[in-house]
Amino acid sequence: MNITELNPTRVWKNFYSLTQIPRPSKKEGKAVLFLEKFGKGLGLETIKDELGNIIIRKPATPGMENRRGIILQAHIDMVPQKNSDNPHNFETDPIIPRIVDEWVYATGTTLGADNGMGVAVAMAVLEAKDLVHGPVEILITIDEETGMTGARGLKAGLLSGDILINLDSEDEGELYVGCAGGMDATATFRYKNEAVPAGYVGMKLNITGMKGGHSGMDIVLGRGNANKTLVRILLPLIKEAKAKIASFEGGSLRNAIPREAFATIAVPAKKVKIARRLVNKHYKEIVNELAAQESNIKITLEECKTPSKAIDASTALKAVLAIYACPNGVERMSDAMEGLVETSNNLAIVKSGAGKIEVKCLMRSSVDSAKEMLASTLSSAFELAGAEVKLTGGYPGWKPNMDSAILTIMKSVYKKLYGKEPAVKAIHAGLECGILGGTYSNWDMISCGPTIKSPHSPDERVNIKTVEKWWNYVVEILKTAPVKK
């Protein structure tokens, strides 16, 4: 069965079209042109701003002209994640969706349901001729996943509606009214190459099979971090097996928990048995510690060609120690909302090469001062080890408004359709609402979506039944938009 045959077909056919257009963050130009052509093809006012954000306006249906304007908002880019042995090229190859029981997955890659499902629903609203609604605007932003560039650069005055429904949350039956802010940290060590002495054996340390996931929503699950695991093993290899590090790398995106990490090392031939014993010892400990969350971890140490050069021993040790000391995971749970993470850090990327070691993190918090405190803690660990630290890309959180008019309506509509009230929550992730609300302070904002599991990982999947429930819900909300004051 093809996903275009799933209900509602008007949503799934649009989503399928998006899967066929490569759109990784910062490389989503073809998808932007596709949306621009789509809007103009419907005869609707279509604007592409200087960044590539798309705005499409659809007039109210007869009798609904007195309703407040609703903006349906989503982002066009997707997180490009795959396993290291997968040849998929996210810049050229289409995503291959597949149906497994009640879910739609991709084939060995991220699916792009985050946030392709939101874009598909917005497209379906635009082309539908059987819906009842007031003035509708569609706002599709670029580069949400790696910097929220589109939201940051959106200019005031382009949109006339004053209710924004963000289509980028991932649990059907839940309404999100707040989100965490974020900040990037990059620590850089400079190193010199030194010759690997005679009598050393080359070895490759491989850490694979971890689940990874969204660095905000999944951080509370306690999954393994491949970068942390890497330095946990490298440190005893340096100290006890006298290993030299030629190169190491792990993770690929700030907003994805790293699933794989690798290091090429050189060990004295007489220390190879010790090295293998150390790796096996830590492998058993890690498997035991993470048994409840990680069932497919693989840690191997293989002989390889002996590298001729290695990172100078002093810098290698300092970098490993600093990464070891770097905060990772949940720092504090929220006092305001049960079960919500307040502050966290994702030790996302480590990579050596060209004379430098870079460590990249993404910090999140719903409390700005806690985010700043975490940034200082992280910076201290790396600066004490001799690294240069840069803090960039900070963005605000979104403060909940429990007196929101659209929240009241959306709770009522959900109960009417499904016999129960939706849960009202905040999310430990960076929705664009916080940034957009800074430019359009008059907006009444809320976020909703279908059920999507394991976003930002090759296990990403969207629940088929919830897409239909969500579509029917959005249609009913548009029909019951409040009257202009």
pLDDT value at residue 304: 97
What residues act catalytically?
Answer: 77, 144
Q: In the chain, list all ranges with CATH 3.40.630.10.
A: 3-179+397-479
Count of other CB atoms within 10 angstroms of residue 35: 25
The strand pair at 181-190 and 388-395 is best described as: antiparallel
Outline where DSSP puts E strands in 133-243.
Answer: 136-141, 163-166, 174-179, 181-190, 193-195, 200-208
Q: Shortest CA distance to 183 belongs to which of 366, 325, 438? A: 366
Strand duo 163-166 + 193-195: pairing: unpaired
Geometric angle at alpha carbon 360, from 89 and 147, rounded to 5°: 65
pLDDT for position 147? 85
Classify 303 as helix, strand or coil.
Answer: strand
Which among 447, 472, 450 is positioned nearest to 166, based on CA atoms?
Answer: 447
- Check whether domain 3-179+397-479 has CATH 3.40.630.10, yes or no: yes
Tell the residue number behind the tokens 């989100």, with chain if given: 179
Dist CA 373 CA 1 (whole Å) = 51
- pLDDT by residue, tens only, the chain of 485 residues: 799 999 999 999 999 999 999 999 999 999 999 999 999 999 999 999 999 999 999 999 999 999 999 999 999 999 999 988 899 999 999 999 999 999 999 999 999 999 999 999 999 999 999 999 999 999 999 999 988 999 999 999 999 999 999 999 999 999 999 999 999 999 999 999 999 999 999 999 999 999 999 999 999 999 999 999 999 999 999 999 999 999 999 999 999 999 999 999 999 999 999 999 999 999 999 999 999 999 999 999 999 999 999 999 999 999 999 999 999 999 999 987 888 999 999 999 999 999 999 999 999 999 989 999 999 999 999 999 999 999 998 888 888 888 999 999 999 999 999 999 999 999 998 889 989 998 999 999 999 999 999 999 999 999 999 999 999 999 999 999 999 88
Q: Which residues pair with 427 in a beta bridge?
A: 179
pLDDT at 159: 97
Residue 336, token pair as written in the block: 């305001």
Out of 3.10.400.10, 3.40.50.1000, 3.30.750.24, 3.30.70.360, the CATH code matching 183-395 is 3.30.70.360
What local confidence, expressed as pLDDT, does residue 397 receive? 87
| Residue 468 CB coordination number (10 Å) | 17
Where does 385-463 show beta strands of DSSP type E? 388-395, 423-427, 444-447, 452-453, 461-463
Label residue 327 exposed, middle or buried (CB < 10 Å: 0-12, 13-18, 19+): middle
Phi, psi of 194 (to 5 degrees): -130, 150
pLDDT value of position 84? 83
The ranges of the chain annotated as CATH 3.30.70.360 are 183-395
pLDDT at 338: 85
Q: For the whole model, what pTM was predicted?
A: 0.81
Q: Which residues of 165-193 are buried (b: 16+ CB within 10 A; e: fewer)?
A: bbbbbbbbbbbbbbbbbbbbbbbebebee
* Separation between Cα atoms, residue 84 and residue 206, nearest integer Å: 11
Degrees (nearest 5) of the Cα angle 419, 422, 426?
175
